[in-house]
Amino acid sequence: MTVLNLLVLVCLLYVVLLFGVAFAADRAARIGRASWLRSSAVYTLSLSIYCTAWTFYGAVGFAARSGLEFVTIYLGPTLVMIGWWWTLRRLVRVGRSQRITSIADLISSRYGKSNLLAVLVTVLAVVGTTPYIALQLQSVTLSFAAFAKAEPSPTALPDMQSTALWVAAGLAVFTILFGTRNLDANERHHGVVMAIAMEAVVKLCALLAVGVFVVWGLSGGIGATLARIEASPIARFEVSGSRWVGLTLLSAMAFLTLPRMFQVLVVENEEDEHLRTAAWAFPTYLMLMSLFVVPIAVVGLELLPADANPDLFVLTLPLSEGRDGLAILSFLGGFSSATSMVIVAAIALSTMVSNHVVMPIWLHYSGRAAVVAGDVRTVALMARRLSIGGVLFLGYIYFRLSGGGTALAAIGLIAFVGVAQFLPALMGGLFWRGATRIGALAGLAFGAAVWLYCLFLPSFGPSVLLPQAVFDHGPWGLSWLRPRALFGTEGMDPVIHALMWSLLLNVSAFVLGSLLSFPQPLERLQGAQFVNASDRANAPGGWSGGMAQSEDLLLMAQRIMGAREAQALFASAARRQGVSGYLPEPSPDFLQELERALAGSVGAATAHAMVGQIVGGASVTVEDLMAVADEAAQIMEYSSQLEAKSQELARTARQLRQANETLTQISVQKDGFLSQISHELRTPMTSIRAFSEILRDTQDLTPDEQSKYATIIHDETVRLTRLLDDLLDLSVLENGQVDLNIQTGTLEALLDRSVRAAGGDGEGFRILRDRGSEQVELATDLDRLAQVFINLISNARKYCDAIPPVLSIRATVAEGRLVVDFVDNGSGISTDKHAVIFEKFSRIGQTKASGAGLGLAICREIMERLGGDISYLPGQKGAAFRVTLPLAEDRMAAQ
Amino acid sequence: MGKKVLLIEDEPNIIEAISFILSRDGWEVKTHANGHDAMDAVRRRAPDLIILDVMLPGKSGYDILGEIRHDADYASTPVLMLTARGQTRDRELAERAGVNRYMTKPFSNADVLAAVRDLVGT
């Protein structure tokens, strides 16, 4: 059995082991017995995907070519983990609270869910990561080739292209199997994480083992190794300051923005507490990984032939010494580095591609019906799987195109500069509320363009994608636009050159764009959420709360639904679950039921947000808030309608109250009126009864007495009759049932008639008239008007207390109205009575006349019906009444 | 004989009727026709019995009854009240003011006579 065959077998077994570990971890997580899966150790180890095949093999090559410069690649992440872990914590908290699925998702969420931004980030990430994936394929292929070359029979040399294809296909299968089990991209991929954690251990062990072998087995101990290093050309490499700083910064930036790093750092993070451990553990891991890089490089340069690829020293050193076992372990380390990177990168990229490119397009073309139909899930999963395949295929194509010739480190740095373009938008989004979508778009666009033009396209070499002429003289002969010497900055390192210009333009465009544009409401809200994220620590998520969560839920439900209903709901759910007591497990079914119940009171969005707040540990997202706001707006509109209604009701109630008061008043008046009538009727009846009994029972009455008493009875009967007549008359007048009988005649004639009816003008009662003024033609109900005159004359006759009593009647015509004044020479009516004399039963003075006090009330009603008026004239010597009546036009002309 | 009755009433015909009935029964009847100086009339006449109308010019029968009941000399003088307002509320007002007998108009002559005899205790 040759070493190569053994290698293939070990490799296959290793892959089977990876599948097994991933499968077991997934299973353990699903049945909820995997608390160790969520340990900070696993989290720290998963971060080691930062160390790809580039680090595993390439760092040695880097050291062999440029000395200590490789350290920058470890220094950047170390600085970030130690010095900037609170930024990572904010990133992780924002990621969890916003249910972020990728860096594209995070940036687009921050800038108001801009899909354009998400697409831009996705495209840039794919373009930047594809060479990186190609790099991994290349490293696996090269390492295979290294084994093949060591074979005694060169006929066994495998086809490099097919090796890469097989590796890519295998990785695609693995990633699809364990990366797309669940639709929820935000959910942790326990299987994948576990597998890469294991790979992290393998690659560290392999590198350490090779290192130990090199130092103690080949070099002869620490002292001897240090001496070799001192003697080697590596010690004499001068690292330029700008390149040192630039590369450190670059690796720090890439650590934050590489899609795969974002995936393990943020998306797969279980608790922000894990960051605390990772802050020291991950730098330690990096230190261990870099420990033997220089010795291996030095020894490799010394022992191996000059044409040996320094990138493969880790593999070729043990091979050349015949240590096949160590070589295989080393190969597995490189294989692990490559595969873990490709798997996570594929998951991260496929999430971005399917969520921000495929799904929006599919939803756009299939319309809303699909969302309702529920096949979104299938489509989303399919999109993710196809995206994984696509990403890996792209990597393979790039590998084929680039021909696998370029040095590993160079490809890695190109990718680093590409993803570093996310940094301004990312950090600006986290720390600067003024950052806007326009700014982020502008910055990304400029940065990406410069990166493409200055670094990515030239990386294929002259005349592949960019013609040689552009390299030498710039496009269209514009020399200041030469890709390697932008704006005349000649003689710079290409990576530093591209990094400087791309970030400079990126940041400038980002800041300028942000300052010059106004964020939309959603953007502002999101910005506030992101920038303020660190102020509140979220409880760790998951379903571990159990009964404590149920209790919180019950407390909340009681407030909304009322204690009895909430308890009934919980108790019945507990019974259905077979749980003793009144608190059910917060199972998804129960939570849905609860949400529905709460939605009835507070609206669906609010209910969802509330339940999510308690159970999910996730804070409320902006969409939730927007939905809540919509509901609140509806409720407000509803309540303003209610308010309008209640105002209307209040108005109606006020009107009703007024009506009731009026009715009560009328009722009181009616009672008073009935009481008055009763009195007015009973008084004459009393006399009638008393005297009729006297006449009946008394035998010895004189004829005079008999006559006198009979007369009283008669008079009282007449009084009674008149009272009844007046009452009926008044009732008719008040009800408006009067038919006026319009006649014509002169005022003089009418007054003559009235004076006669009221007892005439005689010695005991003088009436003074000016007949000249009475020549007025009237056209009205003369009988009713006469009734008024008679009443006034009778009253004067009855009540005038002067001796001799005199009544003067004067008529005048003014402004189309006839005015007749009745003034006597008596003492008049006292001022306090003026207001009531026209009311019913208001008798003036104490004189017991035959009237019941209805006369003036009747006069007032009559004058009203005739369109005129009757009033008391104060300030005259005696009692004075004025009657006014409108005159018809033609009658006036007759005057 | 010779018991004195003061009749406070403003209807002339009713005054005439009651005076006639009581005189024939041997009572000395004095009359007074308005409310405001009714109490003066009471003091002046010092009656054994007062017959009081309710609706009087100047002052209501209830007020006059109140004044009588507050005058030490006449607090126990029996008062027969005659009124044309026959509602329950009026009767209650009269009883609260301390009336001895309450009769509504129109009345039977015999009843008035019997009430007067009863109240004076002859």
Q: Is A689 in the B-facing interface, judged by CB distances under 8 Å?
A: yes
- Round to whole Å and give the CA distance between A131 and A68: 25
Least confident of A118-127, A163-172, A520-529: A520-529
> Which residue from A53, A533, A593 is spatially nearest to A336, judged by alpha carbons?
A53
Q: Which residues of A touch B105 (CB under 8 A)?
A: 682-683, 685-686
Q: With beta carbons less than 8 A apart as the criterion, state whether B46 and B11 touch.
A: no
CB contact under 8 A, A682 and B10: no
Q: Is A377 in the B-facing interface, judged by CB distances under 8 Å?
A: no
- How many Cα atoms are found within 13 Å in the side-chain-facing hemisphere of A769? 18
Q: Is A717 in the B-facing interface, judged by CB distances under 8 Å?
A: no
- Give residue A235's pLDDT: 66
CB contact under 8 A, B105 and A716: no
Least confident of A519-523, B47-51, B106-110: A519-523
Q: Which residues of B touch A846 (CB under 8 A)?
A: 10, 34, 57-58
CB contact under 8 A, B84 and A693: no
**Residue A2 per-residue DSSP state:** -
Question: Nearest CA of chain B to the CA of A685: how many Å?
Answer: 6
Least confident of A610-624, A663-677, A732-746, A862-876: A610-624
Cβ neighbours around A103 below 10 Å, total:
32
Q: With beta carbons less than 8 A apart as the criterion, state whether A338 and A53 touch.
A: yes
* Global pTM exceeds 0.90: no
Q: Is A677 in the B-facing interface, judged by CB distances under 8 Å?
A: no
**Which residue of chain B is at minimal alpha-carbon distance from A696?**
B109
> Which residue from A480, A419, A479, A509 is spatially nearest to A455, judged by alpha carbons?
A419
Q: Which residues of A touch B21 (CB under 8 A)?
A: 690, 694
B8 has pLDDT over 90: yes
Which tokens go with A620?
């409320």
Cβ neighbours around A303 below 10 Å, total:
16
- Give residue B5's pLDDT: 94
* ipTM of the shown complex: 0.94
CB contact under 8 A, B107 and A690: yes
CA A732 to chain centre: 71
Q: What distances in angstroms separate CA A125 from CA A133, A507, A738, one per listed residue? A: 12, 18, 100
Confidence of residue A538 (pLDDT cuts 50, 70, 90): very low
Which tokens go with A321?
């010494």
> Reduced to 3 states, what is the DSSP secondary structure of residue B51?
strand
- Round to whole Å and give the CA distance between A76 and A78: 5
**Which residue of chain B is at minimal alpha-carbon distance from A680?**
B84
In total, the C-beta contacts within 8 angstroms joining chain A to chain B are 66
Contact residues for A23 (Cβ-Cβ < 8 A; gap 6+): A178, A191
> Reduced to 3 states, what is the DSSP secondary structure of residue B29?
strand
Question: Nearest CA of chain B to the CA of A802: how many Å?
Answer: 21
Averaged pLDDT, A643-671: 88
Question: Nearest CA of chain B to the CA of A664: how many Å?
Answer: 18
Confidence of residue A539 (pLDDT cuts 50, 70, 90): very low
Contact residues for A235 (Cβ-Cβ < 8 A; gap 6+): A67, A229
Q: Is A799 in the B-facing interface, judged by CB distances under 8 Å?
A: no
Q: Which residues of B touch A679 (CB under 8 A)?
A: 55, 84-85
A751 has pLDDT over 60: yes
CB contact under 8 A, B10 and A848: yes
Contact residues for A678 (Cβ-Cβ < 8 A; gap 6+): B84, B85, B86, B87
- Give residue A846's pLDDT: 44
> Reduced to 3 states, what is the DSSP secondary structure of residue A745?
strand
**Which residue of chain A is at minimal alpha-carbon distance from B14?**
A687
Q: What is the 3-state secondary structure (H, E, C) of A343-400?
A: HHHHHHHHHHHHHHHHHHHHHHHHCHHHHHHCCHHHHHHHHHHHHHHHHHHHHHHHHH
Q: Which position has the token pair 């019945």?
A: A572
Contact residues for A127 (Cβ-Cβ < 8 A; gap 6+): A418, A452, A456
Q: Dihedral (C-alpha) A262, A266, A268, A270: value to the nearest 10 degrees?
A: 160
> Reduced to 3 states, what is the DSSP secondary structure of residue A461?
coil
- Give residue A296's pLDDT: 83
**Residue A237 per-residue DSSP state:** P
**Residue B72 per-residue DSSP state:** T
CB contact under 8 A, A686 and B107: yes
Helices and strands (H, E) in chain B, number of each type: 5, 5
> Which residue from A43, A429, A67 is spatially nearest to A238, judged by alpha carbons?
A67
Closest Cβ opposite residue A679 in set B24, B55, B58: B55
Q: Which position has the token pair 């809303």?
A: A368
Q: What are phi and psi of A6, to 5 degrees?
A: -60, -40
For chain A, the residue count is 895
A776 has pLDDT over 80: yes
CB contact under 8 A, A678 and B86: yes
Most confident listed range (A80-94, A155-169, A244-258, A482-496): A244-258
**Residue A483 per-residue DSSP state:** T
CB contact under 8 A, B17 and A685: no
Q: Is A688 in the B-facing interface, judged by CB distances under 8 Å?
A: yes
- Round to whole Å and give the CA distance between B20 and B33: 16
CA angle A622, A628, A630 (to 5 degrees): 105
> Which residue from A271, A337, A334 is spatially nearest to A48, judged by alpha carbons?
A337
Contact residues for A828 (Cβ-Cβ < 8 A; gap 6+): A876, A877, A878, A879, A880
A373 has pLDDT over 60: no
The 10s digit of each residue's pLDDT in A191-211 is 888 888 888 888 888 888 888
Question: Nearest CA of chain B to the CA of A712: how many Å?
Answer: 7
Q: Is A679 in the B-facing interface, judged by CB distances under 8 Å?
A: yes
**Residue A84 per-residue DSSP state:** S
Q: Is A712 in the B-facing interface, judged by CB distances under 8 Å?
A: yes
Interface of A with B in 657-676 (CB under 8 A): 675
Closest Cβ opposite residue B85 in set A678, A693, A716: A678
**Which residue of chain A is at minimal alpha-carbon distance from B18?**
A690
Question: Nearest CA of chain B to the CA of A683: how many Å?
Answer: 6
- Give residue A156's pLDDT: 45
Q: Which residues of A touch B18 (CB under 8 A)?
A: 690
Q: What distances in angstroms separate CA A791 from CA A469, A717, A855, B87, one per listed residue? A: 129, 20, 6, 32
- Give residue A532's pLDDT: 66
Question: Nearest CA of chain A to the CA of B45: how many Å?
Answer: 23
CB contact under 8 A, B109 and A694: yes
The 10s digit of each residue's pLDDT in A441-485 is 899 888 988 888 888 777 766 666 666 766 666 666 666 667 666
A856 has pLDDT over 50: yes
The 10s digit of each residue's pLDDT in A6-26 is 777 888 888 888 888 888 887
Q: With beta carbons less than 8 A apart as the criterion, state whether B68 and B77 touch.
A: yes
Which tokens go with A433?
């509320």
- Give residue A620's pLDDT: 55
CB contact under 8 A, A690 and B109: yes
Q: With beta carbons less than 8 A apart as the criterion, state whether A686 and B11 touch.
A: yes
- Give residue A392's pLDDT: 86
- Give residue A847's pLDDT: 45
CB contact under 8 A, A694 and B11: no
Closest Cβ opposite residue A846 in set B14, B57, B86: B57
Q: Which residues of A touch B14 (CB under 8 A)?
A: 683, 686-687, 690
Confidence of residue A56 (pLDDT cuts 50, 70, 90): confident
Least confident of A113-127, A742-756, A832-846: A832-846
Closest Cβ opposite residue A846 in set B20, B34, B109: B34
CB contact under 8 A, B10 and A846: yes
- How many Cα atoms are found within 13 Å in the side-chain-facing hemisphere of A691? 23
Q: With beta carbons less than 8 A apart as the criterion, state whether B47 and B3 touch.
A: no
The 10s digit of each residue's pLDDT in A223-240 is 777 777 777 776 666 666
Q: What percent of chain B has pLDDT over 70?
A: 97
A571 has pLDDT over 60: yes
- Round to whole Å and give the CA distance between A468 and A490: 17
Question: Nearest CA of chain B to the CA of A704: how many Å?
Answer: 14
Averaged pLDDT, A371-400: 75
CA angle A308, A310, A314 (to 5 degrees): 105
Which tokens go with A244?
């040192």
**Which residue of chain B is at minimal alpha-carbon distance from A846?**
B57
Each residue of A72-89: b (16+ CB within 10 Å) or e? bbbbbbbbbbeeebebbb
Sheet holding A880-886, edge to edge: A766-769, A806-814, A817-824, A880-886, A869-872
Averaged pLDDT, A75-95: 82
Which tokens go with A451?
């990166």
Domains defined along chain A, listed by start: 3-406 (1.20.1730.10), 421-536 (no CATH), 540-620 (no CATH), 634-734 (1.10.287.130), 743-894 (3.30.565.10)
**Which residue of chain B is at minimal alpha-carbon distance from A711?**
B13
- Round to whole Å and give the CA distance between B59 and B66: 11
**Which residue of chain B is at minimal alpha-carbon distance from A848?**
B11
Which tokens go with A735?
């009800």
CB contact under 8 A, A679 and B84: yes
Q: With beta carbons less than 8 A apart as the criterion, state whether A882 and A753 touch.
A: no
- More reliable by pLDDT, A380 or A427: A427
Averaged pLDDT, A794-819: 87
Confidence of residue A750 (pLDDT cuts 50, 70, 90): very high
